Structure 1
Amino acid sequence: MFVRILVTAISWAAMAFLVMPLVIIIGASLTETRYLSFPPEGLTLKWYGAILADPTYVQSFLMSTLLAAAATLAGIAIAIPSSLALARYAFPGRQFLAAMFASPLVLPYLVLGSALLQFTGYFGFSQTFLALLVGHVVIVTPFIIKSVSSLITPDHLALEQASADLGASPWQTFARITLPLLRPGLITGAIFGFITSWINVELSMFNTTGALNTIPVQLFNYVQYSVDPTIAAISAVTILIAIIVITVLDMTIGLDLLSDGKSGRQET
């Protein structure tokens, strides 16, 4: 009984420790002062209004979302065949290719951003949406490949062979067997990839301009000259969006599916 109470108390303490920074950010975004203050001195929503009144913030939000979504979709398109090829076939250069796909996970994004600027400059499309998209696909794809590869087992191949023996075409086998089995890894990797892309500063700042800016870079530039509750308001909006996305995923897909690949196997 004592152990259970102790474990419960520690769990709640850990939860409070993780949630408290979010509470402070949201509280600071409601203060009436022109500087960050917690507890808030008065309550106001004017800093949220300031975000909506500034077209640069709205444009940056939309740019970050569009860029992250496009990079994630492209990463999924690359990760599915790449993961299947690396997991099932032995071919010359396989280990090198696997290391190349994993390298963005360990290389500093500043190095990748600098290399991307030189690469896109050489081909004449630096500081464009395409340049940003190429860079974000590079950093998103490894997360999806890693999540998908962990689900590919010999049992999957046996199920695909059984499907083919029963007369299914390769496309039918992929759509009805392979893809559902990989779905938990795809969703998990896509979430991590989208978040990584959306919050990225180091790689993005090499290829952004005044008219082509993501919200993390916008905030990075803003805090160098001014720190006011607008920063907290933007952070609070981001937190709210994350909560909404997680809630929608839990209601439509189920978060237990993301953490347990067996759920996908049972459904198929």
Structure 2
Amino acid sequence: MIARASIRLISWVVLAYLVLPLVVILGSSLTASQFLTFPPRGITWHWYQVMLSDPSYVAAFSTSTLLALAALVLTLPAALALARYPFPGKRAVTAALMAPLVLPHIVLGAALLQFGGYFGLTRSFISLLIGHAVIVSPFVLRSAISMMTPEQRALEEASYDLGANPWTTFFLVVLPRIRSGIVTGSIFAFISSWINVELSIFNTTADLNTIPVKLFNYVQYTIDPTIAAVSGATIVVAIVVITILDLTIGLDMLSDRS
């Protein structure tokens, strides 16, 4: 009984330690003062209005979101193909796609900058997209391969035998069975793309910026509650997305299938 109570107490202490920084950020974003402070000195939405009225922040949010989504769209078919079809050199290709897990992103960013220079893609959206596709591929690949079991392949063959075409088989047989794995991999991939600074900073410009690089450059010259407001907005978006996933798919299903 004492051991169980101790474990529960330790769990709550650890949870509070993890949640406290989020509370500080959200509180600091609502302060009425001109500098970061917690507890907040008054409550105001002014700093969120400053963030939304700044076109550079809106553009940075849009660029980061578009990069993450486009990288997932490019990576997912490759992950499914590697999980389903045998071909010569498959292990080498899989190992190459998994390599970003152990390679520093700053090295990948520098290499991508030099690589893009040969093709005139330096500091462009395409260059950023290639880099983000590289860093998200391991997450999508791991989740897709884990879901493509022999039983899954047998269900596909049964669907073909019953007269279904490839598109019908994919949407009605394959996708429902691997949905939780794809969502799990997509979440980690999206987070990895969204918070990346090391790779992105080599390929951004004043007009083409991602939100983490925008914040990195901003705090070098100015520290005010706008930073907390931007961080608070990302926290709220993450909470909303997780809540929607829990209501539609179920977080327990995602954890069981991943």
TM-score bucket (shorter structure) = over 0.9
Partner of 2:78: 78
Partner of 2:103: 107
For residue 56 of structure 2, what is the amino acid of its counterpart?
Answer: T
- Map 1:86-101 to 2 at 5 A: 89=86, 91-101=87-97
| 1:99 aligned partner, one-letter code | A
Distance apart, 1:232 and its partner CA = 0.9
Aligned equivalent of 1:265: none
Once the two structures are overlaid, the 10-residue window that deviates more, 194-203 or 163-172, is 163-172
Q: Which amino acid is 2:6 matched to?
A: L
% identical equivalent positions: 56
Question: Hey, what's the Cα distance between the residues in 2 that align with 1:28 and 1:192?
Answer: 27
1:258 aligns with 2:227: no
Aligned match of 2:170 in 171, 174, 198? 174
| Equivalent residue, structure 1, for 2:26 | 26
1:31, 1:168 → 2: CA distance? Answer: 59
Shift of 1:24: 0.8
Please identify, of 217-226 and 47-56, the stretch whose mean Cα deviation from structure 2 is larger.
47-56
With normalisation by structure 2, the TM-score equals 0.93
Residue number in structure 1 paired with 2:69: 69
User: Structure 2 stretches of 5 or more lacking a match?
Assistant: none
Q: 1:45 is matched with which residue?
A: 45
1:260 alignment partner, SS class: helix
The whole-number CA distance in structure 2 between the counterparts of 1:170 and 1:230 is: 50
2:238 counterpart of 1:242: yes
In the alignment, the residues of structure 1 paired with residue 170 and residue 51 of structure 2 have an alpha-carbon distance, to the nearest angstrom, of: 45
Q: Kindly state the Cα deviation for residue 38 of structure 1 after the two structures are TM-superposed.
A: 1.5
In structure 2, relative to structure 1, the CA distance for the partners of 1:46 and 1:173 (3 Å cut) is closer
1:26 partner amino acid = L
| SS of residue matched to 2:147 | coil
Contact 2:180–2:249 (CA under 8 A) maintained in structure 1 = no
1:171 CA drift (Å): 4.2
Counting matched residue pairs gives 258
1:221 match: secondary structure: helix
- Match 1:151 to one of 137, 147, 150: 147
Indicate the SS of the match to 2:198.
coil
What is the identity, as a one-letter code, of the residue corresponding to 1:76? L
Quickly say closer, same or farther: Cα 1:56–1:172, change in 2 above 3 A.
closer
Corresponding residue to 2:115 among 116, 119, 126:
119
Shift of 1:197: 0.9
Instruction: Work out the CA distance in 1 between the residues paired with 2:165 and 2:208.
Output: 45
Q: CA deviation at 1:43?
A: 2.4
Task: Give RMSD over aligned pairs.
Answer: 1.8
Which residue is equivalent to 1:227? 223
Are 1:9 and 2:5 matched, yes or no? no
Aligned partner (choices 197, 202, 220) of residue 193 of structure 2:
197
Distance between the aligned counterparts of 1:164 and 1:208, measured in 2? 47
Can you list the C-alpha shifts for 1:128-148, whole angstroms capped at 9, x where unaligned?
A: 111111111111111100111
Task: Indicate conservation of the 8 Å contact 2:140/2:186, yes or no.
Answer: yes
Which 5+ residue runs of structure 1 have no aligned equivalent? 263-268
Q: Secondary structure at the match of 1:218?
A: helix
Equivalent-residue separation in structure 2 for 1:175 and 1:230 (angstroms): 43
The partner residue of 2:159 within 160, 163, 171 is 163
